[in-house]
Amino acid sequence: WEAASYLPFSGARIGSFFQERPVLKNPFLEDALLRGYLRRHLPQEAAFSDLCAFGERVSKEVDVWGRECEVTPPQLVHFDPWGRRVDHIETSPAWKRMKDLSAQEGLVAIGYERPFGEWSRVYQMCKLYIYSPSSGLYTCPLAMTDGAAKVIQSVGVSWPVDEAYSRLTTRQPERFWTSGQWMTERQGGSDVARGTETVAVPQTDGSYKLHGFKWFTSATDADMTLTLARIQDRTGATTPGSRGLSLFYAEVSRDEDGLLKGIEVQRLKDKLGTRQMPTAELLLDGLPAHRLSEVGRGVASIANMLTITRIHNSISAAAAMRRVVQLAGDYATRRTAFGKLLKDHPLHMQTLARMEVETRGAFLLVMDACRLLGREESGMATQLDTNLLRLLTPVVKLYTGKQAVAVVSEGLESFGGQGYIEDTGLPGLLRDAQVLSIWEGTTNVLSLDVLRCVARSSGLVLHAYFTHTKSLLAGASSVSSLAPAVKALDRALSELQDFVQVAASRGPAYLELGARDLAYSLARIYAGALLIDHACWKGASPSDTYAALRWCEQDLCPVANKQARGCYDPNTPALDAALVYD
């Protein structure tokens, strides 16, 4: 008996060692690049103190709510106990607290109040960046709410959307509304022009009733939505394609019997991630609606929303990377392997440093899109800024969305087996990252959007890109510590210019095959230039220089290298297909 008491793990004993969990600290104070960026561009005490206080609230209070949202996902109640159809989407108390907090903190409102002029979008997005990984995906309805407010602003804040606009942009929780964005139908989410079957039947009072089936509608507990439909003429005929689509505003409301007006919630999606948030299939059966766009200008009108939601998506991507890097860095100071802390293993630190470099590139890319958006909205944008924003929006969304999955996945591995364990909260980060490259335009569809905006601007967006990238490098020519990075970037820029010239002469099929690599090249070169530019700032740290050097060691212009290997030649589609179906 006595001997047994010395045996470890005997009986009910579970041993005395327990691993300390990684600790989430104030995400504002923990982020050197974020603070450096703001010190450089928005050195306002009011912004700093608000972000610092918000960061404290996120780490101490909100993060727990985010976890609550994950473990108490929404439920759809189709019927009440007496058999009446109610279609009620029940969300967790934490999800409702997120709504109130979002209003109070002005997470949408800031973009419209513009407290810091052209830097207001940067400020708003920095707040969302701090919030996003703890938000229980509440950043999704906020993105669509922001996008809807932007669309309303662009068509004019007047009846019937003036009330909605004031609710979308209010700081009063009891008045605050969120919006949906219902574009995807069963036949196509990318190809909206061919996929949309929903029809709008004109009413005698000038309004419409919508009939159709929306296949993906996220945060379906929204108060209103923007959606696309085809207007029927008197014979019931509609115009096919993009020219047949118009943009509609509809409120999600209930009649006196508690039934949704003109909507049936078919079911909630059973999703890999984003489980905190309801995503529903909706049957629209006479949904009352008002047309917002000119007839047939639906896609062009909703494009304003897409710009905003794609920037929000990019913020969430950069924020997911930042969060996993912060937690992994903290864990490395607490976990020992082979006799020393993980942080003292050079190979482990190299792994974290590579994640850090990716995160920094992503952060600067997104911030630059926000900077340009802020300039445009405050009337400060030059034509070059406007063109650059059009090009960068899809580039930044597609690049950061993809890299978020890679960085978060690597991040999970840095916790060893614990990274795979549900109740650590870590796996949810990866699940939620995976959607970032799918919704709001997949990687390929956005790569084609890059080609579209190049073609429609007759190359002016590329001109803006080259001009601005070169200007970012101008200050670095005399900084010897950055010379290898500048040299690599100069070479990549000229390779990119060569590609553009050659590809233009080869025609659309060639360009289409090169589209994804082109978008990646645009992203990597631009992020490299931003990192170099930031490292040249007088307040920059040695780590800023090191990050720029490391970033520029990668293949900055994959499109040129692949072109040289004949990857876009006319015979490759057939070879690719043969390989896939071999």
Residue 444 touches which of ligand FAD, ligand UCC, none (CB < 5 to 8 A by kind)? Answer: ligand FAD
Contact 129, 167 (CB under 8 A): no
Instruction: Name the residue nearer to ligand UCC (CB basis): 215 or 331.
Output: 215
Contact 490, 476 (CB under 8 A): no
Closest approach of Cβ 306 to ligand UCC, in Å?
Answer: 5
Closest approach of Cβ 443 to ligand UCC, in Å?
Answer: 11
Residue 248 found at the interface with ligand FAD (CB under 6 A): no
Residue 135 touches which of ligand FAD, ligand UCC, none (CB < 5 to 8 A by kind)? Answer: none
Among the listed residues 127, 122, 115, the one whose alpha carbon sits nearest the alpha carbon of residue 37 = 122
Residue 103 touches which of ligand UCC, ligand FAD, none (CB < 5 to 8 A by kind)? Answer: none
Closest approach of Cβ 33 to ligand UCC, in Å?
Answer: 21
Q: Which stretch binds ligand FAD (CB under 6 A): 120-128, 170-178, 212-220, 550-558?
A: 212-220
Cα within 13 Å of Cα(481), Cβ side = 14
Instruction: Name the residue nearer to ligand FAD (CB basis): 230 or 468.
Output: 230
Class of residue 157 by CB neighbours under 10 A (exposed 0-12, middle 13-18, buried 19+): middle
**Site pattern 217..236 for ligand FAD (x: CB under 6 A):** xx------------------
Cα–Cα distance between 291 and 248 in angstroms, integer? 4
Closest approach of Cβ 441 to ligand UCC, in Å?
Answer: 4
Residue 198 touches which of ligand FAD, ligand UCC, none (CB < 5 to 8 A by kind)? Answer: none
Contact 525, 492 (CB under 8 A): yes
Q: How many CB atoms lie within 10 A of CB 300?
A: 13
Residue 216 found at the interface with ligand FAD (CB under 6 A): yes
Residue 271 touches which of ligand FAD, ligand UCC, none (CB < 5 to 8 A by kind)? Answer: ligand FAD
Nearest residue (beta carbon) to ligand FAD: 189
Strand 245-251 and strand 85-90: the pairing is unpaired
Q: Which two tokens stand for residue 3?
A: 């001997």
Q: Name the helix (H) or strand (E) containing 401.
A: helix 383-413
Class of residue 440 by CB neighbours under 10 A (exposed 0-12, middle 13-18, buried 19+): buried
Class of residue 501 by CB neighbours under 10 A (exposed 0-12, middle 13-18, buried 19+): exposed
Instruction: Name the residue nearer to ligand UCC (CB basis): 299 or 540.
Output: 299
386-399 as b/e: b if 16+ CB within 10 A? bbbbbbbbbbbbbb
Residue 225 touches which of ligand FAD, ligand UCC, none (CB < 5 to 8 A by kind)? Answer: none
Closest approach of Cβ 109 to ligand FAD, in Å?
Answer: 22
Instruction: Name the residue nearer to ligand UCC (CB basis): 101 or 332.
Output: 101
Contact 314, 341 (CB under 8 A): no
Residue 182 found at the interface with ligand FAD (CB under 6 A): yes
Interactions with ligand FAD, residue window 404-443 (CB under 6 A) = 435, 438-439, 442
Residue 188 found at the interface with ligand FAD (CB under 6 A): yes
Q: How many CB atoms lie within 10 A of CB 535?
A: 23
Class of residue 52 by CB neighbours under 10 A (exposed 0-12, middle 13-18, buried 19+): middle
**Site pattern 266..285 for ligand FAD (x: CB under 6 A):** -----x--x----x------
Residue 445 found at the interface with ligand FAD (CB under 6 A): yes
Q: How many CB atoms lie within 10 A of CB 91?
A: 21
Q: Would you tell me which residues interact with ligand UCC (CB under 6 A)?
A: 139-140, 143-144, 181, 183-184, 189-190, 192-193, 218, 242, 299-300, 303, 306-307, 309, 312-313, 316, 439-441, 445, 449, 452, 456
Under DSSP, the state recorded for 362 is H
Instruction: Name the residue nearer to ligand UCC (CB basis): 26 or 309.
Output: 309
Residue 78 touches which of ligand FAD, ligand UCC, none (CB < 5 to 8 A by kind)? Answer: none
Cα–Cα distance between 170 and 174 in angstroms, integer? 9
What are the residues binding ligand FAD (CB under 6 A)? Answer: 181-184, 188-191, 216-218, 271, 274, 279, 435, 438-439, 442, 444-445, 448
